[in-house]
Amino acid sequence: MAILRVAQLGHPILRQVAAPVKPEDLSSPEFQRLCDDMLETMDEYDGAGLAAPQVHVSLRVVVCALSRERPAEFFINPVITPLTDELSASYEGCLSVEGLRGRVERPNHVRVEAFDRDGSAKEYVLKGFPATVIQHECDHLDGVLYIDRADPRSLAFLAEYRRHGPLVTNPEDYDDDEEGEEYEGEDDDLDEEIDDDPNDPTDEDTR
Ligand code: ZN
C-alpha cells in the first residue's frame, strides 16, 4: 500500500471526464492496488471521500465513508439519480482545493448505483451528509469541483472560516432553532470529515 499524491486545483486531470472501469479489470492486481492505495490516502488526509482523478488516475472510482460508523467503501462506475428537487446547503471542502470552504446547494435525497471493488452491484438511497459526500465525489469523475457549484461570495479560507463562520447563509436555515442546529451539525461534519488539511498549521483540529 502507498499514500498517493493528491492532485491540486489547476492540474488538468481534475478537469477530465474519467473513463469507466472495465468489468474484466476489477479483479486485476493493479486495480485492487489502486483501491488499497486510495483507502490509505483517504485515511492519511482524513478525508470523508476520495475520487481516483484526485490521485491522478482518470477512472470512475470513488471511495467514501457514508457515516462515521461505517467503514469506507467503493463506488465504481457510479450513477447518481436525484430523488427530489429540494436542495440542501452545506459548506464543503476538498483535498484538491486545500484550505478553502464554500457553500454548495445539492439535492438532499439521491439514489446511487455502483459496483463494489469485488464487482458486486449495489444501490443506496441516501439523504443528508452522505448524499452530499457521494455527489461531491462523483462530480470529480466528470471534471467538476465543488467550487464550480459554490456561491462565490461564500468562499473562505479555512482559517477565516473557523474564525468568522459561514459568510453566506439562508435566512430559513436559522428561522427555526431546530433547523438551525441541524444545519450547523451537518456543517461541522463536513468541516471535520471532508477536508481537514493536515499541513495547515492553523488547523488545530487536525489529528
Ligand atoms: Zn473533492
Which of 191, 205, 200 minimizes the C-alpha distance to 94?
191
What distance in angstroms lies between residue 188's CA and the mean position of ligand 1's atoms?
Answer: 17
Kindly state whether residue 84 falls inside one of the protein's structural domains: yes
Cell of 89: 446547503
Q: Is residue 52 part of a domain?
A: yes
**Ligand 1 centroid, distance to 137 Cα (angstroms):** 6
pLDDT in tens, the chain (207 residues): 899 999 999 999 999 999 999 999 999 999 999 999 999 999 999 989 999 999 999 999 999 998 888 899 999 999 999 999 999 999 999 999 999 999 999 999 999 999 999 999 999 999 999 999 999 999 999 999 999 999 999 999 999 999 999 988 875 553 333 332 222 333 333 333 333 333 333 333 333
Is the full-model pTM beyond 0.75?
A: yes
Q: Which of 92, 98, 137, 186 is catalytic?
A: 137
Candidates 187, 194, 185, 192; CA nearest to 206 is: 192
Residue 69 annotated as catalytic: no
- CATH number for the domain harbouring residue 43: 3.90.45.10
Name beta bridge partners: 77.
none
CA distance 106 to 55: 25
Give a yes or no: residue 1 inside a domain: no
